[in-house]
A and B are shown apart, each in its own frame.
Chain A
Amino acid sequence: MARTVGFFTDTTLCIGCKACEVACKEWNQLPGHAPQFGDGYDNTSQLDEQNWRHVQFHERTTAKGGVAWNMMSDVCKHCALASCMEVCPTNAIIRTEFDTVYIQPSVCNGCRDCIAACPYHVIGFDEASGLARKCTFCYDRLQANLTPACAKACPTESIKFGDLDTMREVAGARLNQLRGQGMSEARLYGDKEYGGLHALFLLTDKPEIYGLPPTESAVLPSRNNVRGYLGTLVTAALGVAGAVFAFRERGGKE
């Protein structure tokens, strides 16, 4: 059963239908927050304890003066070098047999260190249970050899699921195709960041547009990352470092 799985989200195929959000909530029995108007199209606003998938909408003017509307279904990245795991004091956050990052509810003590540490603002605190919660990569479905709910529901195959190596190949081929069509802004995100993400994204603009830290700063200053360690000479508590990253990232958000 053990395998290394991954998502590949091709934003050029995302139509912002939010089927992933609904499927995720239905399968994982997340009631969601009270309805709240955001900006008309994005009323989910962020990833947190209730929203494990979040479709982002970014409206902007193109270089040619036209309009572009970039959509991306965001999710926990299940980082190879996961900040949340690094800071968790109770070892509640583990790496599963699928190489995904999973918060064990029975071990989590609700200290919220992981929430501060996550550079992607994925985790939220669930007041009802007193636990930190985030995408489980549909751990229960993986154990039953099923595709995660979001990828299963995606009508356009914008969210793809499979072995991480396969996802890398598919992503690389799609990138080449788009570059071949002259889309020079197309790029892959997740190959290098935090030791390699288990959720790869094909973007048509800079990562910052989507609220993602740029590749060069997406490194973990930890004992697991020698370059990061030497480069920044971080000796302070990892939780603090995580918070610093979090602030830097927020500053870069639109």
Chain B
Amino acid sequence: MTNHWRDIQHADVIMINGANPAEAHPVGFQWFLKAKLDPRRGIGRGGGAKMIHIDPRFTRTSAVSDVYARIRTGTDVAFFGGLINYVLEKNLIHHEYVRNYTNASFIVKQGFGFNEGLFSGYDPAKRLYDTSTWAYEGDVPAQAAFERAQKEIVAGGHAPAGAGAGVALAKRDMHLEHPRSVFQLMRKHYSRFTPAMVASITGIPEEQFLEIAKIVGETGRPDKVMTIVYAVGLTQHTTGGQLIRSAALLQLLLGNMGRPGGGMNAERGHANIQGNTDNAISWEILPGYLRIPAPGQKNLDDYVTQSAPKKFDANSWNFFGTNYRKFMVSLLKTWYGDAATDKNEYAFDFVPKPATNSSWISIYDQALKKKMEGVILSGMTATSIGPDANQVMTALGNLKWLAVMDPLPTTSSEFWRRPGADPKAIQTEVFMVPSTHWIEKDGSFVNSGRWMQWKEAAIPPEGARHDHWVLADVFQRVKKLYAQQGGKFPTPLMAMTLNYKDPAKPELDELCQEINGFDLTTGKRLDSFGKLKDDGTTTAGDWIYTGSYPEAGNLSKRRAGIQDPKKNDPTGMGFYHGWAWSWPLNRRVMYNRASADLKGKPWDPSRPGIEWDMTDKKWKGDVPDYPPTMDPKDPKAWGPFIMNGEGVGRLFSSSMLDGPFPEHYEPVESPVENPLHPKQSESPVVFLYDKQGGRENRFGTAKDYPYIATSYRLTEHEHYVTQHVPALVGLQPKPFVEIPEEVAKERGIKTGDRVRVSSKRGKLEVLAVVTKRLGGLEVNGKTVYHIGIPIHWGYVGIAADRDPTKGANWLANALTPFVGDANSRTPEFKAFLVNIEKIG
């Protein structure tokens, strides 16, 4: 989240897309209802926030929303594109914000284009874009002047601005009239998304779309604000990144980013998935969102030049780009200690530079190609998670060994003896490593709102070891083997620094200190990433967490909360800076410089984020996402989005693989053609694993699989682990699928009947729930229906043990496609094709 849970109470409009917060986050949902009950919130004269739910399914969230619109899954780019077109054409955007706080005024280089569903630079053989035409036109005189000034600064003995990241000042037209300005290109791009086109793609009738657009359009006023809440309903598509980006573009146009009650708010699906992401659970990043080094990068200069954002505007601080090297060197010093010196580029050579993609699906793709020997699973079960669970099980069966670290049996630890499988035919040696449950250990959770909150162990562990102790022990043993037997390039392994009291049993408190980082000259813990250096004198295991554990102690343990709101929340805005700690630097709303106008006055004084205090000459309110004493009236004052090379929010970006503007593409399995460009129906840059791997096609068509399916969670269960919890199994005892009344009638299915749902990849045999909440949609001249597929069941747990089938064919992900987002490769769990029939 750019904002946080408590902040949602400040919204006038709550737009929920691809999320089901009432079911997935019932506790956080209290803030949605608080906004709805608050008469100061809402559009027009208020009377309570308007809650809009856009989803293929009418859920428990829809039940308490003001407006519910059924949308065809995976078409949110068209929905948001329609809203973008509406607010541009009706002139409802926040002009001052768009002009000054976004890159609307930037001029794009000649040669950029979009035609028949393809942006310029497409290479059909590689199925990739050359993004060099998605660049800004350089401002030659400004660049020359800047470089002259830099030389003088360097000659004077000072470090140049934008060190290492590079400077490429772009041409701007502050009138937003230049035909190649981002603003005009954007207007042209989205002019195709008329209400009629939106209806024909999404299935939302024109009239209802316009009703929603009217509400949304009101939040372009400075005294109104909208929050957009989303979850994996937007993420888990082949166009996932762009679905989210399209919503962010709308928020920038309406001036809703950086403001209390606004922002783009991702709801995370586990208690600590935010912490996981921040600490590099994704293969393509290092901790703190530094990019993984790429092949060919010979030294730190290569790495920084190719990874860090460039400075595109004289008023851009380009904080990330400017400090990239410091963050990287401090990370290398954390990992390799004394072995990282200025002589060896701080051991940059020790970090792997993967030549191939190593994302989730790619792991099993490698195993399918028999290029993988073993897998260690911790805190998740690959078999249930999918996608294409049958193919994942084939992949696991190709391994020599599989180690499952879990407190309880999982579908992965049991995959070799699942119902219907022949254990003799599966040669994988499976190790069950009993690990502690989070209840049995201390440590922190980082919630969706970036709050790092410490917890203590509730009960002592019994017969199990912590995951991090298992890994530490394995590491020590591997190291010993290297020492005894040698091996290829052992140096990085031998040089790895483990400054713990017991390197085989590190304490989480020690890890937190390591993540925070130290000043090596004093041995003291740092209180800000602003103090990190690139000369090897500082460490930071994850620079965005520097400041979480200063000399004053572990700030995630703080609990100054609602017991004394006057003292703990002096602004009344619910920041509670003394409650736990949020990254970065305990800031509660990111990009909060954009909550105030150019002079530093809040756009809406009744809901201030930060405010320039002219007397004290400093920013007040939330922890500013800005230099705390930078006078906004200074002509050299930085732009509000300090992390971007532009210094402003990006409506146009060259950092996505699938386009500088979000475009609507159909899911890989879709019942209709893309009405915008039928020749380029799906994303042109999606990676097709089975095809590239020379395997048989596993995608189905509407001829055999006429219904759209989408998978999801229910409030009663937490993924798969709660299949071991009697009270929750009692609330949701059996797997089921939800079927619209019309389909049920056609297929002669009643609630409680056993049905078979099949896709090209597998089948699911569970109970039917017939409902009015899933209805038909008219898209592109065709009526289409969704089948709803809850994910929680498998062949492990109380329900499976009690069932005569023992949970055979209960894995929802047996149906889902082995394909993911063009950028992140996140699987397309939310849109695929199935058929359904009654069993017996």
Contact = CB atoms under 8 A, between A and B. Distances in A.
Instruction: Answer whether A and B are interacting partners.
Output: yes
Interface of A: 12-19, 21-22, 25-26, 31-33, 35-37, 39-41, 43-44, 59-61, 66-71, 155-157, 177, 180-181
B22 A26 contact: no
Contact of B63 (A21, A35, A37, A68): A68
A59 B773 contact: yes
Contacts of B733: 35-37, 43
Contacts of B33: 13, 156-157
A159 B798 CA distance: 31
B738 interface: yes
A155 B26 contact: yes
B48 interface: yes
Interface string B20-64: 001100110110010001010000000110000000001011111
Contacts of B23: 15, 17
Nearest to A32: B730
Nearest to B47: A181
Interface in B690-737: 715-716, 726-734, 736
A22 B727 contact: yes
A130 B22 CA distance: 39
Q: Please name the 10 residue pairs, one residue from A and one from B, whose CB atoms are nearest each other, closest first.
A: A35-B733, A40-B769, A15-B22, A69-B63, A17-B26, A37-B734, A155-B27, A155-B26, A32-B730, A16-B60
A43 B29 CA distance: 23
B772 interface: yes
Given A16-B60, A37-B734, A68-B63, 20 more contacts: A14-B64, A15-B60, A17-B22, A17-B715, A18-B716, A19-B26, A22-B728, A26-B727, A35-B799, A36-B733, A37-B752, A37-B767, A40-B736, A59-B772, A61-B772, A67-B773, A67-B775, A70-B63, A157-B30, A180-B47
Contacts, number: 102
Contacts of A70: 63
B277 to A, nearest CB: 25
Contacts of A59: 771-773
B802 interface: yes
Interface string B431-469: 000000000000000000000000000000000000000
> Which of A31, A37, A40, A60 is packed against the most chain B CB atoms within 10 Å?
A40
A16 B63 contact: yes
A71 B61 CA distance: 11
A18 B47 CA distance: 29
| Interface secondary structure of A, over-half rule | loop
A177 B46 CA distance: 13
> Which of A17, A44, A60, A181 is packed against the most chain B CB atoms within 10 Å?
A17
B64 A13 contact: yes
Nearest to A16: B60
Interface in B181-237: none
Contacts of A35: 729-730, 733-734, 798-799, 802
A156 B802 CA distance: 34
A61 B26 CA distance: 25
Given A16-B60, A32-B726, A69 B773 contact: yes
> Which of A33, A35, A61, A180 is packed against the most chain B CB atoms within 10 Å?
A35
Contact of A44 (B731, B751, B772, B799): B731
B818 interface: no
Contacts of B785: none
Contacts of A71: 60, 63
A152 B728 CA distance: 19
A15 B773 contact: no
Contact of A67 (B29, B58, B716, B767): B58
A15 B773 CA distance: 15
Contacts of A14: 64
> Which of A14, A31, A37, A39 is packed against the most chain B CB atoms within 10 Å?
A37
